[in-house]
């Protein structure tokens, strides 16, 4: 039976439909560049994700209409997702009209329909543009070294302290957040400058006073703040490189190097993010298991757990003899049970759900098999993939049907199913006493082959 799947995506022209905003944002503009290229709209999660693209007409005019998923920063520009170059930041909550001209190296607001928030954002960009051009667009403009850059950084950092005076917009959330944007922008420009090619590079002793206060620990106190900034991950990596220079920390490869880097990060969720970004470059499953054992305690959020499973699944060959996925799920009484707890047992895992007809047809055969294997080192695990709203149905069925074995609740969209690519149920998997894969697609209990496989595994 095919697993239940809920959700759909609807795309109508350039309008992205969302239930989070009541009013659409309308963006119109003119691309005033030597080369006509697509103008893109990005949402923000510590980095950019493109959500729409508009190809300007012959006159350079372009436009978007979209419903913002959340109130906060979005990015419009002709650049790519990896760099602030040619990408510009705006604040939307729904209902705004943004009108702008995008030039070769900057942008300008047009008309008088722009929101107060984006007028403030534009004034901040204008104030910091000298830093932006020298730090981000350094390959296009005049040659710059720390001799001219540091005094300018100090001057603008000083002006930033009073920049918001008299610029209240009436949006209390934005007015509070703008001070964070100022801090992140300055950190972005200052750190990017140090870590990009220059004709002359300063010694640590020549760093200007701003860098004394540029602390990774301060930037990583809140995962939410980093995720809300378009280049949050980029700034994290860049400021860590500076911190390592300041602390005279030498580069160390592998797990020890990651552990050393984590000592600079304050927030555990961001530690998990950092580890998983490093794990994306791993080439084999053995390295994955070593990293997971060392840093798995930091995979705290659903998003991090999902990414962790995706990395594992991509590296796992899932052949006999490979280490099994170390699942951990609650039993019917809420007690957590992990695969590691069951070492020394041959495991038969039944992936099922109360709504699945073919699954229920196997239950009598599973009970019979359990009786026949009584007294052996075989542990039968029934792993429920019922949705959260059906958990009570699962508990009731355990009681009403007197279900045996070990009943665990994984829920819909669980990591075990993702890891083993379980798309249809029932599905039966067998693991040996060391937790290694025997098969991830075993015969069903209604056939004699499953009992024979379990007996063979016990004998081995």
- Pick from 344, 307, 312: nearest CA to 325: 312
Task: State residue 346's pLDDT score.
Answer: 97
Q: What is the pLDDT of residues 134-174, one digit of tens each?
A: 999 888 766 789 999 999 999 999 999 999 999 999 999 99
C-alpha to C-alpha distance for 121 and 158, rounded to whole angstroms: 18
C-alpha to C-alpha distance for 414 and 428, rounded to whole angstroms: 16
179 CB-side CA count, 13 A: 9
Task: State residue 421's pLDDT score.
Answer: 85
Task: State residue 19's pLDDT score.
Answer: 44
SS3 content of the chain, % helix, strand, coil (to 5): 40, 20, 40
422 CB-side CA count, 13 A: 30
Task: State residue 51's pLDDT score.
Answer: 94
- Pick from 448, 332, 352: nearest CA to 399: 332
Q: What is the pLDDT of residues 447-457, one digit of tens each?
A: 999 999 999 99
Question: Which residues, including other chains, have CB under 8 Å from residue 141's CB and lie 6 or more apart?
Answer: 105, 133, 134
Task: State residue 440's pLDDT score.
Answer: 92
Helix (H, G, I), strand (E, B) or coil at 28: strand
Task: State residue 6's pLDDT score.
Answer: 28
Are 67 and 21 contacting, i.e. CB atoms less than 8 angstroms apart?
yes
C-alpha to C-alpha distance for 452 and 60, rounded to whole angstroms: 71
Task: State residue 87's pLDDT score.
Answer: 97
Neighbours of 119 (CB within 10 A): 14
Question: Which residues, including other chains, have CB under 8 Å from residue 413's CB and lie 6 or more apart?
Answer: none
Are 159 and 215 contacting, i.e. CB atoms less than 8 angstroms apart?
no
For the chain, domains (ranges, CATH) are 10-114 (2.60.40.1120), 328-459 (3.40.30.10)
Task: State residue 9's pLDDT score.
Answer: 28
C-alpha to C-alpha distance for 267 and 195, rounded to whole angstroms: 24
- Name the stretches of the chain with pLDDT < 70: 1-21, 141-142
C-alpha to C-alpha distance for 339 and 324, rounded to whole angstroms: 8
Neighbours of 31 (CB within 10 A): 23
C-alpha to C-alpha distance for 64 and 338, rounded to whole angstroms: 49
């Amino acid at each position: 039976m095919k697993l239940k799947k809920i959700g759909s995506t609807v795309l109508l022209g350039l309008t992205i439909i969302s239930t989070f905003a009541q009013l659409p944002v309308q963006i119109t503009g003119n691309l005033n560049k030597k080369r006509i290229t697509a103008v893109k709209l990005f949402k923000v999660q510590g980095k950019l994700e493109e959500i729409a693209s508009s190809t300007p007409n012959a006159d350079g005019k372009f436009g978007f209409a979209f419903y913002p998923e959340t109130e906060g920063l979005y990015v419009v520009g002709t650049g790519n997702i990896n760099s602030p170059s040619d990408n510009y930041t705006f604040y939307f909550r729904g209902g705004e009209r943004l009108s702008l001209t995008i030039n070769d190296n900057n942008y300008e607001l047009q008309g008088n329909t722009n929101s107060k928030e984006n007028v403030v954002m534009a004034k901040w960009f204008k104030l910091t543009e000298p830093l932006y051009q020298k730090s981000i667009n350094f390959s296009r403009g005049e040659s710059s070294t720390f001799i001219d850059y540091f005094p300018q950084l100090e001057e603008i950092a000083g002006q930033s302290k009073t920049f918001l005076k008299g610029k209240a917009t009436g949006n209390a959330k934005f007015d509070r957040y703008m001070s964070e944007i100022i801090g992140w922008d300055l950190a972005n420009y200052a750190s990017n400058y140090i870590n990009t090619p220059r004709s002359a590079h300063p010694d640590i002793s020549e760093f200007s006073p701003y860098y004394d206060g540029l602390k990774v620990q301060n930037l990583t106190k809140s995962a939410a703040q980093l995720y809300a900034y378009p280049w949050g991950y980029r700034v994290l990596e860049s400021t860590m490189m500076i911190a390592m220079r300041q602390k005279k920390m030498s580069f160390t490869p592998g797990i020890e190097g990651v552990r050393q880097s984590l000592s600079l990060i304050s927030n555990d969720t961001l530690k998990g993010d950092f580890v998983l970004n490093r794990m994306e470059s791993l080439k084999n499953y053995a390295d994955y298991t070593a990293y997971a054992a060392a840093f798995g305690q930091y995979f705290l959020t659903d998003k991090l757990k999902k990414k962790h499973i995706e990395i594992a699944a991509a590296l796992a060959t899932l052949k006999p003899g490979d280490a099994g996925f170390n699942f951990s799920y609650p039993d019917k009484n809420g007690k957590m049970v992990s695969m590691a707890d069951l070492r020394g047992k041959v495991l038969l895992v039944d992936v099922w759900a109360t709504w699945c007809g073919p699954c229920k047809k196997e239950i009598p055969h599973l009970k019979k098999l359990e009786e026949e294997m009584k007294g052996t080192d075989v542990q039968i695990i029934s792993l429920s993939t019922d949705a959260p709203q059906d958990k009570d149905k699962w508990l009731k069925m355990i009681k009403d049907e007197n279900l045996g074995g070990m009943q665990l609740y994984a829920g819909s969209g669980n990591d075990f199913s993702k890891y083993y690519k379980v798309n249809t149920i029932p599905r039966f998997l067998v693991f040996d006493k060391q937790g290694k894969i025997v098969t991830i697609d075993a015969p069903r209990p209604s056939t004699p082959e499953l009992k024979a496989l379990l007996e063979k595994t016990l004998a081995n």
